[in-house]
Amino acid sequence: MRKLLIVLIVLLSLNVVFASSTITEGQNGTFVIKGYYESSNASDCTFRLWSGDQQEPESEANRIYQSGFVTVDGLVEDSPSVIFHWSFEWTKNKSYQLTFSFTPLQSYVERTYFIPEHSFSMECNENIQTVVYDEKVSGSYKYPGKYLNNYKKSISYTANKSANPKELKGTCSLTVFDYEKELSADFEYISYITVEFKVI
């Protein structure tokens, strides 16, 4: 008897799941659509940073992803700047904050990080939006120094989620000045640049 009841309940359930529903005048019928969304394996944003030509390099090897460094080489009085470019593309309808951090120029000489006395500034222009980003920061450091991996000056961009196309491109220039006494063209100086993403 109990088994028969269980069979009956199972059959009734099956009928509900598999049978079409028929309605007539004055009645309502429903149909349920199901879907799911899990985390996508594909990255939802891409950041590229490169120095040199404005044209983005085709080769992966020439790109600097997310963090990297630019080299100030052949530093002479009439070319105290290094220019780098960046692009940021995103696919999802979110707002992202990009924070650019950079260190002052430094060189590794005889197992010692060498920070010459200098001042620097970094300016960034963002090409697509009409408002020009012109924040300027500067700092001054005296020799002898040590590797300043915890020093950061930051510039933030906010990528608008409703932007179309979902892409930002920009150019930043790092300018060094007041360096005549300390900087030597014999060494290679590097500024480390890091870009951090945050969904806001």
The answer to whether 161 and 93 have CB atoms below 8 angstroms apart is yes
**Residue 146 binding another protein, by CB under 8 A:** no
- The binder of another protein chosen from 6, 16, 27, 182 (CB under 8 A): 27
Q: Which stretch binds another protein (CB under 8 A): 34-42, 58-66, 99-107, 171-179?
A: 34-42
Query: With contact defined as beta carbons under 8 Å apart, do 190 and 106 qualify?
Result: yes
**Residue 40 or 130 with smaller CB distance to another protein:** 40
145: nearest Cα among 119, 121, 116, 120: 116
Q: Is residue 181 within the footprint of another protein (CB under 8 A)?
A: no
Query: Toward another protein, which CB reaches closer, 35 or 74?
Result: 35
d(CA 86, CA 107): 24
Our CB check for another protein shows the closer of 14 and 109 to be 14
Binding residue (CB under 8 A) for another protein from 6, 13, 14, 52: 14
Residues 56-95 that bind another protein (CB under 8 A): 91-94
Instruction: Single out the residue of 16, 41, 60, 77 in contact with another protein (rule: CB under 8 A).
Output: 41
Q: How far apart are CA 194 and CA 126, in angstroms?
A: 17
- The reply on whether position 8 binds another protein by CB under 8 A is yes
37 forms part of the interface with another protein (CB under 8 A): yes
Distances (CA, A) of 184 to 80, 83, 85, 97, 140: 12, 20, 26, 37, 17
Question: Given the rule CB under 8 A, which of 15-23, 107-115, 127-135, 173-181 is the region that contacts another protein?
Answer: 15-23
Q: Which stretch binds another protein (CB under 8 A): 33-41, 70-78, 121-129, 136-144?
A: 33-41
Instruction: Name the helix (H) or strand (E) containing 121.
Output: strand 118-126
What does residue 81 show for φ and ψ, rounded to 5 degrees? -120, 150
Burial bucket for residue 100 (CB in 10 Å: 0-12, 13-18, 19+): buried
Instruction: Summarize as ranges the residues that interact with another protein (CB under 8 A).
Output: 1, 4-5, 7-8, 11-12, 14-15, 18-42, 44, 91-94
